[in-house]
Structure 1
């Protein structure tokens, strides 16, 4: 949803060897896990849902975490809350950089441990800490989330994909142990629209894509949202930021025109600037997805 023209398959490419190795190690550790904290990006809550996750975790308890809530407006957050509740899910919205929503998330994970140990007690077994894993695409904020839960910096965290390279257990308290896992993306993602959203948000890790095409897709998506949900967007974000009108331009045409207007015809520089400004929130609080229907 959101793109005004079709983008060819394999626009976004990544590397199966590295992904397969990470998936294999994660699946081995999942056998030891009681609860899964699935972290998604508030700008693209559907595109950051790993298509194999439900298969991997089976009947294990899952806590849905929508991180980077600071990147969308309260109105967008409320739209998603209502939609997830209609699907029978309770999302926990967090900002792992500032710590918002962390206490509620910690209580949800701990509640899973209470259920676990009650079952162990009923079978005559001793209590033990609940084992949780934090899973999500690269750069959705998993490590920063763990540091917030721990209330100290224990795992490396940065606003770029691929910082976490290995699986590592850390103890939050006597009740909870957490597994920090590298970002995982599907071996193959047929939905190139979703892949483009991941690239726009920089949630894709080691991948190969054309910045100009991705920036054009972002502009097209923004134009689409301005047409169907303008009340949920900041007013004229591109015009406000670059002092250049966007009316009736396709993303590609606007990108080239902006390059002539501000960057001496350097289209690559214009594309990188637009993507950087969006990722840093300098264009305002802009979602790339709305709930279906």
Structure 2
């Protein structure tokens, strides 16, 4: 299965990034703490080459704390600086900026040694769409200078933004890879909102999500939707049970599956079903050995 979502502005973004790299001291890569593997665009690593990088696990408030700790250890054990972040509330931003400045210390010191006046650290923010780049900038500035949105693809151009005396940020559009052959990655990007809702099969994604929740988080479904402890094994029946409890009914008492599915998806994305981490560090090891595992059992589009 190939999800083709690579609009022209993304190809342009890659060219812009390459053209600005010589000006950059440190790259900040934002990933979704719920899916650090699936939201880590391999194209970004290729683009930045040997530039110092700080990995920021954003939306950490929506992820399972124990799993987030595992991911921090994973990145740090591989020589990468990694921090947790909740750009929406501002938690973790101070540590992030401190780490970015630390990563640039060596380069700034070399400039000073050459007789060049010390300057602010220049950092570039990269990440896939809807991972929270503009929200982070707004939080750092304490204002809504950078445009934000609740859908992928809001940011289109580049902008330099001064943050205090010691840091300058270059915002860039979200960069998603041209195609995704891994159905699990496609599912996780879709369910967390990184892919526009109108380009994948919403029904299949929601039913798959219900399968995951039933398997590993059944207690949350029972509590949130006031269901019986013995959940239906069939995900369509499970969705019908949720719809009935939430009053998602059409004329004649027929279940409105689309409305019920939207409720589940929204509850998942906003944390009303609790904290979730869908990626595990051990998957990253498998991914490194086999970068593009495929699974053609379910097509999302």
Aligned pairs, number: 276
Task: Extract unaligned runs of 5+ from structure 2.
Answer: 250-254, 284-301
1:5 aligned residue: none
Q: Deviations over 1:233-290 (max 9, x none)?
A: xx61222222234635243443355446642222211221111111111111122222
2 CA distance for matches of 1:192 and 1:102?
33
Q: Is the 8 A contact 1:218 1:251 kept in 2?
A: no
Give the secondary structure class of the aligned counterpart of 2:118: coil
Which of 247, 252, 258 does residue 231 from structure 2 map onto? 247
Q: Is the 8 A contact 1:41 1:68 kept in 2?
A: yes
Normalising by structure 1, report the TM-score. 0.85
Matched, 1:173 2:164: yes
Task: Extract unaligned runs of 5+ from structure 1.
Answer: 1-8, 227-234
Q: Is the 8 A contact 1:183 1:205 kept in 2?
A: no
Q: Deviations over 1:1-30 (max 9, x none)?
A: xxxxxxxx23x4424434222322232223
1:291 aligned residue: 281
Q: Deviations over 1:95-148 (max 9, x none)?
A: 111111111111111223322211112333332222111111111111111122
Give the secondary structure class of the aligned counterpart of 1:138: coil
1:35-50 counterparts in 2 under 5 A?
35-50=26-41
Give the secondary structure class of the aligned counterpart of 2:161: strand
Give the secondary structure class of the aligned counterpart of 1:31: helix
1:211 aligned residue: 202
Which of 5, 13, 21 does residue 30 from structure 1 map onto? 21
Q: Deviations over 1:149-173 (max 9, x none)?
A: 2233321223332222211111113
Which stretch has the larger CA shift, 133-142 or 245-254? Answer: 245-254
- Quote how far apart the aligned CAs of 1:32 are: 2.2
1 CA distance for matches of 2:33 and 2:62?
7
Give the secondary structure class of the aligned counterpart of 1:52: helix
